A and B are shown apart, each in its own frame.
Chain A
């Protein structure tokens, strides 16, 4: 093979000339097809973010509809059939189509920037995952608009969700949407795990890695272990409904409780999959706005890992009322309480960081404070729910609804909003307006508590969940009305936030590379980053690179081909050069083929046979080896 000489980002090629060449190599073609073929993690991360927030808006609208119907007793705004679809769609949209994808979105955008590399580990898989996510979410919402939305609850218990008691295709759309989103989430998880373990900048040992990257590593491994359970389970449900299997039919030696075990084995880790990235956001924000590294860095990281591991041993606490043996339940009570300890440790560390640092109360920090105030309350009601006898009273009541909104909105959405404000300059090149942002915060936080605090009482006072109406004279009217008013105010606060974001996109103050005096690698890139992220891959010598006096870089990566530097897992010594894929439409085409296969298989099993042909063709074209020149050149320090 003839030796080709490659242009490299060496000492003789720097500055504007280097930028031009790199931008051409790593940039996307303009226009729709350029966008559709992009494998740039920033483009895909932005898409994920926008899509997730669209679903947040849709799910939020459903919540307002529910609160309107429940604002008074025996209201006739929404009948039982439509209401059951609405609450199912609300939960499903928020859990599957918003919460997990939005955390993935931020991770996809930020991780290569934080870790000092140019793209994620499997860029085409990443692109494929977004198309699958959009397809699944769209399928579900189109079905809902056409009166075929699922109506058996977001966890779809059998036998209610089985063929006899859920006629039609409603639950099938739910089950297939789960398949779409599980494929997407697994794809992202694989990509993120590989990126974190192998693509960090030289010198970024695991100990020097940002806490957010740690949280995404733990979360991605959790996804890989838990999502196959739900993918299998939803497939079993579809098989029961469509081809006559008896997995969940108690009258033919199946078991209705099997569904609950398999679902919650995924379902419980799922909520930590949503929560742990948010703790990563909080760590990052707290560090920057107190001017010091987070107190107890080791403890925080170990808490993340401990939470991730413990989360797999808790699922039966969703089944305390099902009549399983009480001694078994005692184990799950203990485990469910134990999982509060690592979270408590993290809270202690954050407050200690604030105490011993120099806090600046810019907008992201406000959201962090809102998070602490709210999440701790939700965690404590969780401790109550962990106790079997208490749970037997408040399970499936509005007390549980209050608890999980406290931990999900307080524990995940508030840090997310803080993270959006914090990283907005990096993503868009503009600052969000601070005053409108503070207004949004001061509307949303009290309104949240106004909405959800009364629900604790409603649950204790006997109001069950998932009811489309309640009788007059139960004493529930006032609290429900207060809750509904709060819900609309909260929506107002969120609207102000979103409006601020949209306005700031066009008219916000221009942002420098590092507007917050932060310390992570992502703040060395421009705002927004160039397509190639870093002109030279940085070398890291501490956990706070931007606060170090010197910032060395590596040289020698190819400039006219896409190439990333892989390092060893623990010490992050340079290990391999890895070619990175060029833009391609095949992930989109493969996703389209898979979508057709999945959607048509709701109507006929033959779709699996016939549909696998185009999928196979697309995958073969995608993976067809490309001549990229000799790979695996020796890496020279």
Chain B
């Protein structure tokens, strides 16, 4: 992918996004690397074919035959007929070859994804991502939302489902996309050799805010991942005082607790993103805003202005109350 795409790009002036965090050209995961190689192959086959047809057309257009209207000379016609047969057979063979290459790539990807794997479940909602990590220890499950953190070097099997409409998880740098279809479970296998920060996005039209349903994907060194995971399993303490405590009281006493869940507090709503360790996330509202105090205040003040159609209502809070809630949420590391 890299070689072919870079060549074309340099020919046309360069696009920096090919190297960005949401690009299928980078091949930084096992699956996307194999797909990238296959794409290179297709590019090396199809571009010369296109140029060849254009040359053929150009040559044809330049010829001016003094020919009687209607019939070409029989022997010339026979030559062309042979050419047609050769063309048909060659194109069929090339396409067959590309099909076989496709099949081999598919098989390689499937085989590379076999074996013991970390099991993660991603559940798509309108318009956020719920993420659950299955722990081999019974009764333990790390639940988070709008972030996917995986260890580098390990095989991660992400199973996908949706309770509402069809979504699609697409992490272009790492793997192809898979749809999240209500009533079915499917999966995608991630195997990323090196750490990095990436951005995934929903790739199946799912309603009003399909455009703003992104998912930050963080691939970390195994040690960092373990640290994050264990921190995630821990229950954050109830704040002792100050604005965080005021925010905690407001959060658990007002509308927030009806929908959101924060472990270790009375807020146990199941229908909105889990906020237990919200402070350590990089974005708000599934990739729409960066996670800063100012953005969070803006989000809570009027979610509809940031993400019109979102299911989070405009909760009536005075600016001071809002600041307290923001302080509390940002303290949940």
A and B touch in the complex (CB under 8 A): yes
A residues sitting closer than 8 Å to B (CB atoms) are: 79-81, 84, 152-153, 157, 159-160, 164-165, 250-251, 255-257, 291-293, 295-296, 299, 321-323, 326, 329-330, 333-334, 337-338, 340-341, 344-345, 347-349, 351-352, 354-359, 361, 369, 372-373, 376-377, 380-381, 383-384, 387-397, 457, 460-462, 464-471, 474-476, 478-479, 544, 547
Given contacts A389-B109, A393-B35, whether A462 and B95 have CB atoms under 8 Å apart is no
Instruction: Provide the bound-state CA to CA distance between A479 and B92, in Å.
Output: 35
Instruction: Provide the bound-state CA to CA distance between A348 and B84, in Å.
Output: 7
Q: A383–B46 contact, CB under 8 A?
A: yes
Instruction: Provide the bound-state CA to CA distance between A361 and B61, in Å.
Output: 9
Instruction: Provide the bound-state CA to CA distance between A431 and B83, in Å.
Output: 38
Residues of B within 8 A of A361 (CB): 61
- Cβ contact of B182, chosen from A159, A372, A377, A395, cutoff 8 A: A159
CB-CB nearest 10 A-B residue pairs: A475-B17, A250-B183, A392-B176, A323-B186, A462-B22, A467-B211, A355-B60, A337-B95, A387-B102, A380-B46
Residues of B within 8 A of A479 (CB): 15
Measured CB to CB, the closest approach of chain B to A148, in angstroms, equals: 16
Q: A295–B80 contact, CB under 8 A?
A: yes
A contacts with B: majority SS: helix
- Cβ contact of B35, chosen from A255, A376, A389, cutoff 8 A: A389
Measured CB to CB, the closest approach of chain A to B71, in angstroms, equals: 7
Q: B70–A344 contact, CB under 8 A?
A: no
Q: B24–A394 contact, CB under 8 A?
A: yes
Q: A358–B60 contact, CB under 8 A?
A: no
Residues of B within 8 A of A322 (CB): 179, 181, 186
Residues of A within 8 A of B105 (CB): 387, 389
Q: A461–B17 contact, CB under 8 A?
A: yes
B residues sitting closer than 8 Å to A (CB atoms) are: 5, 9, 15-18, 20, 22-25, 31-32, 34-35, 38-39, 42, 46, 49-50, 53-54, 56-57, 59-61, 63-67, 69-72, 76-77, 80-81, 83-84, 87-88, 91-92, 95-96, 98-99, 101-103, 105-106, 109-110, 126, 164-166, 168, 170, 172, 175-179, 181-184, 186-187, 199, 201-212, 214, 287, 308-309
Q: B203–A369 contact, CB under 8 A?
A: no
Residues of A within 8 A of B25 (CB): 460-461
Q: B76–A356 contact, CB under 8 A?
A: yes
Output the nearest chain A residue to B167 by Cβ-Cβ distance: A160
Q: B15–A383 contact, CB under 8 A?
A: no
Residues of B within 8 A of A296 (CB): 80-81, 84
Instruction: Provide the bound-state CA to CA distance between A350 and B179, in Å.
Output: 41
Given contacts A292-B70, A333-B102, A341-B95, whether A165 and B207 have CB atoms under 8 Å apart is yes
Instruction: Provide the bound-state CA to CA distance between A324 and B103, in Å.
Output: 15
- Cβ contact of A344, chosen from B63, B91, B109, cutoff 8 A: B91
Q: B165–A321 contact, CB under 8 A?
A: no
Q: A323–B87 contact, CB under 8 A?
A: no
Q: B67–A291 contact, CB under 8 A?
A: yes
Measured CB to CB, the closest approach of chain B to A462, in angstroms, equals: 4
Q: Which of B72, B126, B179 has the most chain A CB atoms inside 10 A of its CB? A: B179
